[in-house]
Amino acid sequence: MKIIERFEIPYYQFLNENSQIADEFPLIAENKQVLPVLYQLMVLVRMLDAKAIALQRTGKLGTYPSTRGQEAVFVGIGHALAKKDVYIPYYRDVGSLLQRGVTFSQILQYWGGDERGNFFNPESEDFPHSVPVGSQPLHAVGVGYAIKYRHQQRAVMVTCGDGATSQGDFYEALNVAGAWQLPVVFVVCNNQWAISVSRQVQTAAHTLAQKAIAAGIVGEQIDGNDIIAVQHRTAEALKVARENYQPRLLEMVCYRQHDHTTADDASRYEPKDLREVEWKKEPIARLRVYLEKLGIWNEAKEAALLADCAKKVDQEVKDYFDLKAQSLVSMFDYLYATLPSAYAEQRDILKQMEMVDHG
Amino acid sequence: MAEITLVEAITQALAHEMQKDTDVIVLGEDVAKDGGVFRATVGLLDKFGPERVLDTPLAESMIGGLAVGMAVQGLKPVAEFQFMGFIYPAIDQIINHAARIRNRTRGRLSCPVVFRTPYGAGIHAPEHHSESTEALFAHVPGLRVVIPSSPARAYGLLLAAIRDPDPVIFLEPSRLYRFAKQEVKDNGQALPLDTCFTLRTGDDVTLVTWGAMVKETLSACDRLIEAGIQAEVIDVATIKPLDMETILLSVEKTGRCVIIHEAPLTGGVGAEIAAQIAEKALFLLKAPPVRVTGFDTIVPYSRLEKYYIPSEKRIIDAVHRTMEFT
């Protein structure tokens, strides 16, 4: 017997839970312009998220999947993306979507039961929220193929959760991305839970990053509570995707600091105190202490930020409440480029209902 | 000009559209070097190169999702599934994504993809190679389901499907791939989608069918003429959306309707056609509409398949039953 292949999975953490920076760190860890921007965005995302949960609890929003505790993952990857890249989210991606020009009121609109929340903006090539778990990595390889076919210098990034890595589609996407060398960055937000099924029950694999290995691509594990590591590793992965058309899998290790969605009750399955233990690693306080050490953050700035975020939250909620309802016939109007005449009669039924409503 | 088979007409349409439009990409299992298991894509690799004719890894859901990603980026993928019995892993991608991305982004994104697959029994193939499950797709909002039944319609309808801005399921009757030859000009002329083709005109009875069953229906029509019965034969061609106008106009004229399909009876597209006839033309009918279809069984393996596929005799018998009403 001889060993014909060996594999390694690197782990990246630059800022640890005690806000200590590693000996060797990337340039971004010294960037006094960018770090506060990331911090402010994470604080805003947490506040928006809390508001969304409150809106659901008071009957003003449908089921909503919280992003609490996962702010560094989405703010970090969203910051690393370039405007020209294509983004394919799953459904916890508030921090990245905000940086793609999507407003929080649109995110509320989506979870509030209005398709227009997926419209984003007319120029956007980004995909809408994806609910069928693990199906969207395949879209990323299709987009990646189009990018490579057209010889463009851009990349596509797709996100999913830890549960999605058990789906065949997830592996099929990694496999073809490797076989065809496509410019795709796969991001797994490993928040330790797929509704009630823990990461340990999901797979015997020690890391999710190692799922890249069978596909012949690079996989890395990253401390998803360290936004410096998240931003840096994602930026690197996007660079090799854009310049060399190489795919990469990034596993962001974090913790879901809320129920799966507002329809879930994690007390049925989550070990008592675990959330609290994990809270010590959460990303926002860790960065704040570091910023204070760098001398670029203080109490006064914090107070001003919280006031500003509260104002923004109010405005987004107001925009959400102010939205006019869609017409009933909109059900038919985006079904096909041109509605086949076979469906005109059914559309007329809705038109009649609309006239009665308004009459 | 040489006459060509239905499968050659498919190749001709693909080559024509690839020549005209560099966004058209052909992908699937064995479609490049091998030219497809039925040779529907033969020669395309040599003409258009490996960037446009792709042998994919063997994963049908991947073919579906990959094609969705390409199409949303504005490419026009024509993805082949080797047999209809193997399209099922891709149903999530087809129903949850291809069919609804335009609607769920309120028109911002679209999915101009064609999913091609051979379908139907009668070629003595192994298990899972003889399915006629077109009704599954005909039920899904946002899709088109198109089925050619001659070389000329294969050419014209495939061109139309590729040019259509929405997803099309394009089902090719494998029994007809090499059944008959026909002159098909390579003139780039598409045929209209969403419309039936009236293949024979007659005043006594309307025969509504599609796909491979057009063959038995036309031969039944010839035999009926010998018996003095003039049948009108309608090839539905696009089963979603349904062109009921053409069917209803014919049924209003004849007052009798026999619907023929290879797929199982229950929940087949024939049920939808019969229901619409009942809703809109009941009092113009001289006889109840009748269906002649495959049985509500698993499509049998090769030794029994000829008893499963509706025969010319079953069609003729059904017509005679409707003629008994006066």
ipTM associated with this complex: 0.96
For residue A156, what are the β-bridge partners? A86, A184
The catalytic site residues of B sit at 129
Domain with CATH 3.40.50.970 in chain B: 3-183
* Shortest alpha-carbon distance between residue A353 and chain B (Å): 21
Return the SS3 of A188.
strand
Return the SS3 of B292.
strand
pLDDT at B2: 86
Q: How many CB atoms lie within 10 A of CB A24?
A: 7
Distance CA B147, CA B209 (A): 11
Contact B269, B263 (CB under 8 A): yes
CA A89-A93-A99 angle, to 5 degrees, is 95
CATH superfamily, domain at A11-325: Thiamin diphosphate (ThDP)-binding fold, Pyr/PP domains (3.40.50.970)
Closest CA in chain B for residue A143: B69
- CB nearest to A115's CB, from B51, B93, B104: B104
Distance CA A331, CA A350 (A): 9
List % helix, strand, coil for chain B (3-state, nearest 5). 40, 20, 40
Residues of B in contact with A141 (CB under 8 A): 62, 65-66, 69
* Shortest alpha-carbon distance between residue A255 and chain B (Å): 29
* Shortest alpha-carbon distance between residue B70 and chain A (Å): 4
pLDDT at B266: 98
- CB nearest to A138's CB, from B25, B66, B242: B66
Closest CA in chain A for residue B100: A335
- CB nearest to A128's CB, from B56, B62, B104: B104
pLDDT tens track of chain B, all 326 residues? 689 999 999 999 999 999 999 999 999 999 999 999 999 999 999 999 999 999 999 999 999 999 999 999 999 999 999 999 999 999 999 999 999 999 999 999 999 999 999 999 999 999 999 999 999 999 999 999 999 999 999 999 999 999 999 999 999 999 999 999 999 999 999 999 999 999 999 999 999 999 999 999 999 999 999 999 999 999 999 999 999 999 999 999 999 999 999 999 999 999 999 999 999 999 999 999 999 999 999 999 999 999 999 999 999 999 999 999 97
Give A94-146 pLDDT, tens digit per residue.
999 999 999 999 999 999 999 999 999 999 999 999 999 999 999 999 999 99
A334 to B244: CB separation less than 8 angstroms, yes or no: no
Closest CA to A166 of A137, A126, A130: A137
pLDDT at A357: 73
How many Cβ pairs within 8 Å bridge chains A and B? 137
- CB nearest to B108's CB, from A122, A132, A145: A122
A128 to B59: CB separation less than 8 angstroms, yes or no: no
- CB nearest to A334's CB, from B68, B70, B102: B102
Contact A136, A90 (CB under 8 A): yes
Element containing residue B48 per DSSP (H, E):
helix B44-48
* Shortest alpha-carbon distance between residue A150 and chain B (Å): 10
Distance CA A38, CA A27 (A): 15
Contact A335, A347 (CB under 8 A): no
Element containing residue B235 per DSSP (H, E):
strand B231-235
pLDDT at B240: 98
Burial annotation A73-89 (CB, 10 A radius, 16+ → b, else e): bbbbbbbbbeeebbbbb
Closest CA in chain B for residue A114: B104
- CB nearest to B242's CB, from A127, A175, A342: A342
Quick one: DSSP state of residue B98?
I
Contact B149, B234 (CB under 8 A): no
Name every residue whose Cβ is closer than 8 Å to that of residue B125 and which is 6 or more positions away in sequence.
B83, B174, B302
A120 to B102: CB separation less than 8 angstroms, yes or no: no
Distance CA A120, CA A90 (A): 15
pLDDT at A181: 98
Residues of A in contact with B166 (CB under 8 A): 336-337
Return the SS3 of B240.
strand
The separation between the first and the last C-alpha atoms of chain B, rounded to the nearest angstrom, is: 48
Give A157-192 pLDDT, tens digit per residue.
999 999 999 999 999 999 999 999 999 999 999 999
A138 to B102: CB separation less than 8 angstroms, yes or no: no
Residues of A in contact with B241 (CB under 8 A): 340-343
The catalytic site residues of A sit at 256, 260, 269
Class of domain B197-323: alpha beta
Report the CATH architecture of B3-183.
3-Layer(aba) Sandwich (3.40)
Distance CA B94, CA B92 (A): 6
* Shortest alpha-carbon distance between residue A315 and chain B (Å): 24
Site from B54, B105, B193 to mutate, A interface, most A CB atoms within 10 angstroms = B105
B73 to A146: CB separation less than 8 angstroms, yes or no: yes
Axis crossing angle, helix B312-323 with helix B213-226, rounded to the nearest 10:
50
Closest CA in chain B for residue A117: B105
pTM: 0.97
Quick one: DSSP state of residue A281?
T
- HSE of A274, CA atoms in CB hemisphere, 13 A: 16
Question: Token digits for A84?
Answer: 């020209």
- Cis peptide bond upstream of B112, omega within 30: no
A139 to B61: CB separation less than 8 angstroms, yes or no: no
Closest CA in chain A for residue B96: A132
**Residue B315, amino acid:** I
Q: Which residues of A touch B (CB under 8 A)?
A: 86, 115-116, 118-120, 122, 124-125, 127-128, 132, 135, 137-147, 149, 168-169, 172-173, 175-176, 179, 330, 333-337, 340-343
Distance CA A137, CA B59 (A): 14
* Shortest alpha-carbon distance between residue A12 and chain B (Å): 31
Quick one: DSSP state of residue A15?
B
Question: Token digits for A199?
Answer: 């990461």
Closest CA to A145 of B54, B70, B53: B70
Domain with CATH 3.40.50.920 in chain B: 197-323
pLDDT at A359: 57
Question: Maximum Cα–Cα distance for chain B, whole Å?
Answer: 62
What are residue B8's phi and psi, to 5 degrees? -70, -30
| β-strand pairing of A184-190 with A248-253 | parallel
DSSP for A140-184, please give it. Answer: HHHHHHHHHHTT-S--EEEEEETGGGGSHHHHHHHHHHHHTT--E
Counting as low any pLDDT under 50, the low residues of chain A are none
